[in-house]
Chains A and B, each alone.
Chain A
Amino acid sequence: MESIGDLLHGFSVVLSWQNLLYMFIGIVLGVIIGVLPGLGGANGVAILLPLTFAMPPTSAIILLSCIYWGALFGGAITSILFNIPGEPWSVATTFDGHPMAQKGQAGEALTAAFTSSFIGALFAVIVITLAAPLVADFALQFGSREKFSVFFLAFCSFVGMGKEPPAKTIGAMMLGFALAAVGLDTVTSGLRLTFGSTELIGGFDFLVAVIGLFGIGEILLTMEEGLSFKGKAAGINPAVVLQTWKGLPRYWVTMLRSCVIGCWMGITPAGATPASFMSYGIAKRTSPNGDKFGTGEIEGVIAPETAAHAAGTSALLPMLSLGVPGSPTAAVLLGGLMIWGLQPGPLLFVEQKDFVWGLIASMYLGNIVGLIVVLTMVPVFAAILRVPFGIIAPIILVICAIGAYTVHNNVFDVVMMLVFGVAGYLLKKCNYPLAPLVLAIVLGDRAEEAFRQSLLISGGSLLTFWSNGLVASIMTLGLIALFWPFLSKLYGRVVTPATQK
């Protein structure tokens, strides 16, 4: 087992007091980011990314990925105590988590949520440890055709698997590709779509877009809803934790199933949010207590939390091994790699062993640290949410503005952040998904490059994408994913009359 040896090497990279400190800071910041409205995993990482430019890449990725784990944990706190999902993937956690808190079982619900999050993440990290090197090894032989087909599959999955109408997903995604195209053409080094403006030569930076769309947009949505936080007391202590842990092994089937669902949805970029809903839905249908779901059933907390964390973590697998991120936060981390001077993709496993295995080792440690931090510090984090919105909102706005400015030390980026913020508010209210938009801005140039190189080699024939078994099957899978809503409806029409007879 070569990967075990590499992993041990990774631990030796991570285990310095500096990196452990970054890990702790990252987790605490991450939970705070996950708890506060308007700051989420993706834009929290985006805001802090410019500060890591001077750090060694391994320490930087440890800090930023730990913010991500912290944000994943943090979403559960607000869902259970306040009935407000801090992150979209913790919406399903509110269904049973908040009723439990109302019954005075907040401690049990939080313990169950954190523990199952941890198990989901651990499962996903093990999958990454075992599978990522193999996938990367395989992907080393990819040419531009194969690269494009992987991008194609990733983007088609959004259309087919998303809950938004396909035309809106395509509209948002293509807008991302158009924004990515503005400025320098990476193939010919010529300018395009700038219409004579000097500000547009550099193109649209995805970090500014993320901070605007997710940060400012979220503040505007919160403002509209006029939030008033009415929370339940946390009431968590070692006795409750141990008591809950004793009861958890009974739900191992639910946990295992949720882990698998989460990993699957995380690797194909459907993301943590649909994973948590799907896992909750299946648990509800299969559990003997299914009819009690929604009234404060502990299994209804375990299922979505396990799946969300498994999905959030496994989203890093395609990011590391293929250079295709599985979630917006993974996309921001991928952007970070490029800024630190690392070329994302399978070569990372060959050329940057310290970095990759340091990151994977930090996922194990980071989630253990995360579990301890959240279990011991819940009351502190809950107190942060009790700070009134009138104080929190301007602080977040200023932090977002500083984050946008520091990307390129450019005031124009702060203007763009506000424009993206208003756009994010309107798009979200009109049911356009933001994740494919962000992924398209990040990946646009590379997808286009792969596409144009493939066409150049084939002399302009699109049939090149069906010229060998591998690329043809990935492209066909992509087309199936693209037309999935249509195909499943068609299938339903063919099958239902037959069974009725």
Chain B
Amino acid sequence: MSNPTDDPELPGPQQRHVEMGVAAFLALLGIVTMIGSLQVGIGWGAEGPKSGFFPFWVGLLIVVANGYNFFRAYVDPSRKQFAEWRQIGLVLKVVWPMAIYVAAVPWLGLYVSSVLLTIGFMRWIGRYGWPLTLGISLGLQIVTYITFEKWFLVALPKGPLEDLLGL
């Protein structure tokens, strides 16, 4: 297990910069919440406090709390690393395939997309041979199919391949 260090040889973003980014984004969500609340009314109506009353104050608290978090991160003297670029690369190696997977599910169906995700992952990150890769990726989907469609009678999204096979 490797922890982020202050070693300049292994560059990466600073913890405080990431924290400032996260706080700013959360504060933005708070502002969006407040705007949405204002649209439905934050005052007092026939039903008591209006729809937007509670979320408005919630949004305000988000802005205040994260404004403070932003400030704390800004003045933080520590130059600790968030993570090395190499580590962030590893994280993105999961995020990108997942994003493609999520986008592919409506077109290819869940089963085919899952097989492709498992194959991609095992070949690219795990560097396993084809027999094991195909065995696990196909086997997992066959188990999933039997468990969901036959046992629990839950239909998962299907695509052109399943139509072709008449499943």
Interface residues of A (CB under 8 A from B): 50-51, 54, 165, 167-168, 170-171, 174-175, 177-178, 181, 185, 187-188, 190-195, 216, 219-220, 223-228, 388-391, 393-395, 397-398, 401-402, 405-406, 409, 411, 414-415, 418, 421-422, 425-427, 429-432, 448, 451-453, 455-456, 460
Contacts and interface: CB of A to CB of B under 8 A. Distances in A.
Interface in B103-157: 105-106, 110, 114, 117-118, 120-122, 125-128, 136-137, 140, 144, 148, 152-157
Interface in B1-49: 1-2, 15, 18-19, 22-23, 26, 29-30, 33, 36-37, 39-40, 44, 47-49
A172 to B, nearest CB: 8
Given A390-B128, A394-B117, 14 more contacts: A51-B154, A175-B26, A192-B52, A195-B36, A228-B1, A390-B122, A391-B122, A394-B122, A395-B140, A397-B98, A398-B140, A401-B110, A411-B105, A448-B54
29 contacts: A167-B72, A171-B23, A171-B66, A178-B29, A181-B33, A181-B55, A192-B36, A220-B94, A226-B90, A389-B126, A390-B126, A391-B128, A394-B117, A397-B117, A398-B117, A402-B144, A405-B157, A406-B156, A409-B154, A415-B102, A418-B98, A418-B99, A418-B102, A426-B22, A429-B18, A430-B23, A448-B54, A452-B54, A456-B47
A174 B54 contact: no
Contacts of A181: 33, 54-55, 58
Nearest to B19: A430
A172 B37 CA distance: 19
A227 B39 CA distance: 48
B126 A391 contact: yes
Interface in B33-88: 33, 36-37, 39-40, 44, 47-55, 58-59, 61-62, 65-66, 68-69, 72, 82-83, 87-88
A319 B153 CA distance: 31
Nearest to A178: B33
B49 A456 contact: yes
B91 interface: yes
Contacts of A391: 122, 126, 128, 136
Given A188-B47, A405-B156, A398 B54 contact: no
A455 B49 contact: yes
Contacts of B128: 390-391
Contacts of B90: 223-224, 226
A452 B136 contact: no
B65 A174 contact: yes
A411 B106 contact: yes
B33 A193 contact: yes
B142 to A, nearest CB: 13
A398 B94 contact: no
A223 B93 contact: yes
Contacts of A193: 33, 36-37, 40, 55
Contact of B1 (A225, A395, A401, A418): A225
Contacts of B39: 192
Contacts of B157: 405, 411
Contacts of B47: 187-188, 456
A226 B87 contact: yes
Given A181-B54, A192-B51, A460 B94 contact: no
Contacts of A432: 22
A414 to B, nearest CB: 5
Contacts of B144: 398, 402
Contacts of A418: 95, 98-99, 102
A346 to B, nearest CB: 24
B69 to A, nearest CB: 5
A51 B152 contact: yes
Contact of B30 (A178, A195, A219, A393): A178
Contact of B69 (A168, A178, A397, A402): A168
A394 B128 CA distance: 13
Contact of A177 (B58, B120, B121): B58
B18 A223 contact: no
Contacts of B19: 430-431
Contacts of A421: 98
Contacts of B23: 171, 430
Contact of B101 (A170, A395, A401): A401
A390 to B, nearest CB: 2
Given A178-B33, A190-B51, A405 B110 contact: yes
B58 to A, nearest CB: 4
A402 B145 CA distance: 11
A190 B36 CA distance: 13
A402 B50 CA distance: 38
Contacts of A388: 126
Contacts of A187: 47-48, 51
A188 B51 contact: yes
A409 B155 CA distance: 8
B155 A401 contact: no
A225 B29 CA distance: 29
Contacts of B118: 394-395, 398
B5 to A, nearest CB: 13
Contacts of A429: 18, 82-83
A175 B49 contact: no
Nearest to A451: B54
Contact of B53 (A415, A426, A452): A452
A418 B82 CA distance: 21
Given A391-B122, A405-B156, A452-B49, A220 B102 contact: no
A216 B22 contact: no
A168 B61 CA distance: 11
Contacts of B68: 167
B30 to A, nearest CB: 7
A44 B47 CA distance: 40
A174 B31 CA distance: 12
